[in-house]
Structure 1
Amino acid sequence: MWKKRFGEEYKDQDFVICRENGTEQDPRNLLRLMKRLIRASNVTSIRFHDLRHTHASILLSEGVDIVKVAHRLGHSNPKITLETYAHLIPNQDNEVADIFHYALNRSVSNL
């Protein structure tokens, strides 16, 4: 939306959070806004970085592939993401075992 509005004057620096014209946002302004929103919402206070962890946690608990989450977080290697968030990945052992079981039964019945 802002890119269209500012046109060629928009400075696309690939920031996650920026001012309307694409330039760097002062982090203190962002933290002040976050604190005001937390107070107004009457929710438990968290650090700004906790939003990143919450984002990754929700994606993983919903079954989003670890490689996609790693890319979204900007991790150079999914191993970094896996080491940090492995405990949040839904246990799919039973599902995998069932798939193997049915595939094995199909193979045996085709003999």
Structure 2
Amino acid sequence: MSNQHKHPTISFRVSNAERKQIEARILASGMMKKDYFVRFCIYNRICVVGKKETIYPLVQTVNALYLQLLEMHKAFVGYCQDQNPDNLPTSNEIAELQTSYNNMLSAIIDLLDGAKYLWEGDAHNKQ
């Protein structure tokens, strides 16, 4: 059991120059590396390039969430018609879907906000 991790690991490769820049920022922040990466990934502005490869995965994820919501809607409608509680989603399933929706909507809002930031910057530069 000592070989099991509690949480999954995220890793990526960077160039030597990128690593030095990252380490300088971590040092300046005064945070532990782990905390810096988590906060940076979650709270920093994201700039989006509107191309098919970027947008298509978002559309697929939103569609999957929509299909889950549609299934739950059918279960609730079926319950109202048949009064059969066996078809209802569990509170855990509802909570998981709510978490998925919250995470995806937050990510989409952040992406759109980053795109707005880029667009406003382009508009400002053209003036």
Q: Same fold (TM over 0.5)?
A: no
Taking structure 2 as the reference length, the TM-score comes to 0.27
In terms of fraction of residues, the more helix-rich structure is 2
Taking structure 1 as the reference length, the TM-score comes to 0.30
